[in-house]
Chain A
């Protein structure tokens, strides 16, 4: 199948545009932190002292706006609810730019797929473009559901960096797939991995902030100086961050599990064994085990909180090594990343 070069060029232009839009959005989130104090947290903390007419006296540990699940909690629907949309000029602009950026990003991926007449995740360049897109989509969804707008700058910094490296160092021109990848399983296995990685990236960013917030809270509580207290004013408490991170892993882990199973089925179709301890397989297993450790730690007294947070970050390091390190340093059956 010949490559549609016009569409491929369009895709390159769109991806570059997406990075630029993300970078501007990132600055706007930072401006919001700097100029519009606390606005970023609108709706995240329960407005204390406000009469919530229909809310039966449910005393809950966490502000109701966060714990209410995907729906706005009862108090929010009745009357002077805090909007699920961002407030303040800079935050609105930043979020609008993020949405435009992610739309352009998605379009870039779609046009790449049209150019190549296949799913556009056949090499490292395309794979990174896809999972960074997923990470931003997760952030947008988390913002709308859980008002996680405060995460904007922290999510976009690694995304802009990752896409920058992707466009410069890892760029691969549009092309066809090697026979080993010519299977409908690429659409199933790699897509699942992209979704899971997007969720894990978001989880890791939130957990990093959680660990900083937790440390800051403990230092402030014991009267010690905390360098991060200034930033922490713009972030919700450690508990909310911890829950947000946990939710993304809770969602990501089954998707990753499915991706590993789908990969095993594909490996069986392509290589004649469902599990052969190829480096990529080994590292996806290691990643799975470490995230499983995180989930178990979350359910064990004495391990939840900080320790679990560190385990989750260790899982993310394994994930990064699997995505990047294994392709760069180790030869195996998955060595078709165009490196």
Chain B
């Protein structure tokens, strides 16, 4: 992006012309100025900084798109602050307009700098290096020696050596100029263009992809249709018909935990045995779903992202009718012991609606009078229930969570809350019925994603990496050679070198090597090779002492680096 700066400082005359035009065509002038500013490196640096800074709240504050429950919790604990933060989009930073503004500006800046440079690079593919400057001694790296060859022959052999080393050559009267390292610019542009491609890949996934979640109890199944999914977040151009028509049936689930030692309770493995069909009527296939081993069906992937217990409960109401008989998924509140909580709602119960808040303990032990779970496996499962009767509030029209009981219209039943073992029942007071704990099932939660931008993103990522490495490894450098007849009838050969992008150094070594080879080659033509080096100073090397090193090096560094 220095290219733009180089342009603007290159010619005062051009700048002045631009200025006078700007005064005449105000709007165009301003636009040109704004575009220059936007595509300048300084702006890019500031935008990069803003991008990094703007990402910070996204990692510190809970985010709507990642953990909506945490956002709700934040609202409860900071009732005054939360609405302000929400207005500033700080709960969805990465979807915020100001965040989009930063990255759109950054990518506009990037495009505005990279695209013209790409065109220029294509144009320079057949361009010759510039003429050699008249005074090579002013270049950052210089060397000179004398030889018995004629100036023409000396230049010819210099051009030959540089050509062998794959320098691009341009020869003229008394000089050769050579340039090498165009791949650096190629790598640099590849990196920046790949970043643009990466952004488009992400957008592609957001438009044509979808994300979904499904909780599945062992023995149950579902089809991949919007109505059969718990959560369905389609991209902008995804219709119900674009979903892969597979169906999945959960056969079994096994979780294994460390049973002793310091890591007790830590999970070792999760295995979910699935039967699936790629489309209705297709043969049933089996797959063992594990973490890190998703099931891939027609480009959509199914992931195992959670698991839990679902106590099987039978509720008989006051009239003796069974109103609920089946598993109820409970949510683990403590991953290390899998103590889980959940609710059972029985709106059809007569004479009054019934609700239960329950705690499931997979490995219940008596700890000082209260029961708690000691291990995540179901070694001694117990279900503890608190009963409610009254109005569940399910007819109010408001959406309700299946995992929460709205106790507003309910009153708690007076009963002994003794945890039930499998097969045990509890009689509800006032003839409201009975509740029986029959046993437990396990459930898993699945994430289903389809992202057509995935492969393009991967390719872009690696292209960016390749471009980065290329631009770091290759340096662009120029070597100039001048040969002229000296007073003593011999030929004086002067070399000058300039690394256009050599911020990490290394060009000096190459230049020295080149100069040595050339000198050896040209002196060697006359068989004076061994003698030459012993013959100071006229015949051999006029060793230039390092002059004002640091500032001269800066000259090389400030050359257009093209980053």
Contacts and interface: CB of A to CB of B under 8 A. Distances in A.
Nearest to B457: A274
A36 interface: no
Contact of B267 (A179, A243, A297): A179
B512 A56 contact: yes
A295 B552 contact: no
Contacts of A73: 508-509, 512
B543 A55 contact: yes
Interface in B125-172: 140-145
Given A175-B262, A250-B472, A274 B543 contact: no
B246 interface: no
Interface string A155-199: 000000000000000000101101110110100000000000000
Interface in B1-18: 1-2, 5
A178 B267 contact: yes
Contact of A289 (B51, B63, B65, B293): B51
B59 to A, nearest CB: 4
Interface string A54-96: 1111111111101111010110000000000000000000000
Interface centre among B49, B291, B472, B561 (most CB of A within 10 A): B291
Interface in A238-288: 239, 243, 246-247, 250, 253-254, 257-258, 261, 264-266, 268-279, 282-283, 285-286
Interface in B235-265: 258, 261-263
A156 B439 CA distance: 60
Interface residues of B, number: 93
A269 B461 contact: no
A74 B504 contact: no
Nearest to A322: B59
Contacts of A21: none
A169 B386 CA distance: 43
Contacts of B65: 277
A286 B292 contact: no
B301 A57 contact: no
B447 A56 contact: no
Contacts of A180: 291-292
A286 B56 contact: yes
A339 interface: no
Contacts of A303: 41-42, 45
B488 interface: no
Nearest to B537: A57
Nearest to A260: B461
B317 interface: no
B544 interface: yes
Given A56-B519, A67-B506, A293-B45, A318 B52 contact: yes
Contacts of B349: none
A60 B140 contact: yes
A55 B511 CA distance: 11
A110 interface: no
A53 interface: yes
Contact of A57 (B2, B45, B513, B543): B543
A328 interface: no
Contacts of B29: none
Interface string B520-563: 00000000000001000000011111110111111011100111
B313 interface: no
A64 B117 CA distance: 34
Interface stretch (B31-39, B367-375, B418-426, B463-471): B463-471
B55 interface: yes
A52 interface: yes
Nearest to A301: B558
A304 interface: yes
B380 interface: no
B516 interface: yes
B554 A67 contact: no
A9 interface: no
Contacts, number: 241
B101 interface: no
Contacts of B60: 279, 330
Contact of A179 (B142, B270, B458, B506): B270
A296 B44 contact: yes
A276 B51 CA distance: 17
A179 B258 contact: no
A182 B291 contact: yes
A243 B454 contact: no
B449 A283 contact: no
B558 A69 contact: no
A51 B534 CA distance: 13
Contacts of B5: 300-301
Contacts of A304: 557
B534 to A, nearest CB: 9
B512 A74 contact: yes
A232 B294 CA distance: 57
A272 to B, nearest CB: 4
B553 A60 contact: yes
A43 B55 CA distance: 45
B141 A58 contact: yes
B462 interface: yes
B547 to A, nearest CB: 6
A272 B1 CA distance: 36
Contact of B552 (A61, A243, A318): A61
Given A73-B512, A178-B267, A254-B469, A269 B294 contact: yes
Nearest to A326: B59
Nearest to B42: A300
B465 A293 contact: no
A96 B22 CA distance: 67
Contacts of B507: 67
A34 interface: no
B41 A61 contact: no
B48 A58 contact: no
Contacts of B449: 272-273
Given A55-B512, A179-B291, A272-B449, A60 B59 contact: no
A205 interface: no
B515 interface: yes
B553 A176 contact: no
Contacts of B457: 264, 274
Given A296-B44, A300-B2, A59 B464 contact: no
Contacts of B505: 62, 66-67, 69, 243, 247
A104 B290 CA distance: 37
Given A60-B141, A285-B55, A293-B49, 16 more contacts: A52-B543, A57-B144, A58-B508, A58-B515, A59-B549, A64-B508, A66-B505, A179-B291, A239-B553, A250-B472, A271-B303, A285-B52, A289-B48, A299-B501, A300-B2, A332-B59
For the complex of A and B, 8 pairs with smallest distance between CB atoms: A61-B553, A57-B544, A299-B563, A60-B508, A56-B515, A279-B59, A282-B59, A272-B303
15 contacts: A57-B143, A59-B140, A60-B553, A63-B549, A73-B508, A74-B509, A182-B291, A239-B553, A250-B504, A264-B457, A265-B458, A286-B55, A289-B52, A290-B52, A301-B2
